[in-house]
Amino acid sequence: AHAGALLGDVRHDPFQSGGMETPSHDRVEPGAIHKANKGVLFVDEINTLDIRSQQKLMTAIQEGEFSITGQSERSSGAMVHTEPVPTDFVMVAAGNLDAMENMHPALRSRIKGYGYEVYMNDTIDDTPEMRRKYARFVAQEVEKDGRLPHFTDTAVEEVILEAQRRAMRKDHLTLKLRDLGGLVRVAGDIARAEDAEFTTRDHVLQAKQRSRSIEQQIADDYIERRKDYDLTVSAGDVVGRVNGLAVMGEDSGIVMPVMAEVAPSQGPGKVIATGKLQDIAEEAVQNVSAIIKKFSDEDISEKDIHIQYVQAYEGVQGDSASVTMATAVISALENIPIDQSIAMTGSLSVRGDVLPVGGVTHKIEAAAKAGVETVIIPKANEQDVMIEEEYEEMVEIIPVSHISEVLEVAL
């Protein structure tokens, strides 16, 4: 809200209030804080309110009254200052997590001190009752638009599957219904353009490609251009090379090869990783060093181990390639080739346990598109796999709990 609408103002244009001679004190207007007296003031996107307005809002909350003055310094109403007007209200403020960064610290401390901070869930339990409500949601979106063909059962099922995928959590559905509603409308538009009687599953699948955000389209374009110089190998055996899996943007899976080479060191041996690694990825390299010492008989005290994330132009942020790194290095140390029809993802503990990672569904689908036949994933992620039907026959999924199981399959 702009300051005048929230805090009260003095109208600047006398013609709106009775003529040129209307004195400024007769042009006083209450703000939302005054209209909310004895009721509720709801402020959405609180972080877009400027700091000065937040300070005045805090004063109104604390003192239960606030004088009205002109909000423009050039207004004749700037000289008007009314008696304090009651502002005894309950305030409800909303915003995304980034709102915390832009809130006035004193205002936020009063919210925490005298009220409640509530973190809203963005997923809900996947139950038969909830699925019925999502089906109703699809019908309501169609009715609200008024021009779209209604959805078939299989089309609704595909929308619910997408709600599962976007939750990125087993046995949950996303509550980002605005985004899901966009998918429903795009699918309906495609069906209407074809003069179809109903919106089918195929229309929903087409809509999933068309209703992607700008960021996702950029990620997809990057992946498409990358294929011109693709180094993915999905057949044969190669020493020290593993097909890793990553996610770009929110849901664009990508095959990212990891290569390892062992060379004599001119000093104490060390592990050198390249590919624009961020902090968490750097720490993962250190964990992998411990695994290498445990699972390889080779003495690495006088050897340098080089690990390269191939084509990692955007950098590597997380630790989901720990399993990939360890496998590539042990292969290079032992000179045992790796089956290139396999891709993998997973984090590692220093004891060799394979830990869960994000985006497994999108990673598996990317592997299938690249011609990979087998994908190794953490067993803890087994229930998170919700790949499209067309990929189910293309790829075998092997859940593992320990690095020893990975080596048994890959080497």
Is the model's pLDDT at 257 over the cut of 90? no
Give the count of domains, the chain: 3
C-beta separation of 184 from 159 below 8 A: yes
Task: Name the pairing type of β-strands 172-174 and 303-309.
Answer: unpaired
* Domain of residue 176, residue span: 123-211
Domain identity same for 316 and 238: yes
Residues 309 and 167 in one domain: no
Residues 391, 293 share a domain: yes
Looking at the fold, whether 108 and 140 belong to one and the same domain comes out as no
CA angle 341, 166, 355 (to 5 degrees): 50
Q: In this structure, are 277 and 406 located in the same domain?
A: yes
- CATH code of residue 278: 3.30.230.10
Of 211, 243, 275, the domain-final residue? 211
225 falls within a domain: no
Phi then psi for 273, rounded to 5 degrees?
Answer: -115, 135
216 in a structural domain: no
Q: Are 323 and 403 in contact, with CB atoms under 8 Å apart?
A: yes
Question: 391: closest CA among 166, 161, 216, 151?
Answer: 161
Please tell me whether residues 263 and 298 are part of one structural domain.
yes
CA dist 350 and 355 (Å) reads 11
Residues 181 and 250 in one domain: no
Q: pLDDT by residue (tens digit) across 124-136?
A: 999 999 999 999 9
pTM for the model stands at: 0.64
89 and 32 share one domain = yes
Residue 243: inside a domain: yes
Q: Does 226 reside within a domain?
A: no
Domain annotation covers residue 224: no
Same domain, yes or no, for 177 and 31? no
The predicted model gives 85-110 an average pLDDT of 89
Mean pLDDT of 308-333: 75
344 forms bridges with which residues in the sheet?
244, 376
In tens, the pLDDT along 351-396 reads 889 999 888 988 998 888 888 899 999 999 988 888 888 888 899 9
Same domain, 386 and 252: yes
Strands (E) across 39-122 are located at 40-43, 65-66, 85-86, 90-93
With a cut of 80, say whether residue 409 has pLDDT above it.
Answer: yes
Domain boundary among 149, 183, 211: 211
**Do 148 and 244 have their domain in common?**
no
Structural domain contains residue 220: no
Active site residues: 320, 363
140: in domain: yes
Residue 290 has pLDDT above 60, yes or no: yes
Across the range 335-345, mean pLDDT stands at 92
- Ranking 47-51, 68-72, 111-115, 212-216 by mean pLDDT, the lowest is 212-216
Q: Which of 149, 176, 211 is the last residue of a domain?
A: 211
Q: Are residues 106 and 127 in the same domain?
A: no
What does the DSSP assignment read for 151-197? Answer: BPHHHHHHHHHHHHHHHTSTTEEE--HHHHHHHHHHHHHHHHHTT-S
Does 12 score more than 80 pLDDT?
no
| 223 found inside a domain | no
Phi, psi of 347 (to 5 degrees): -90, 160
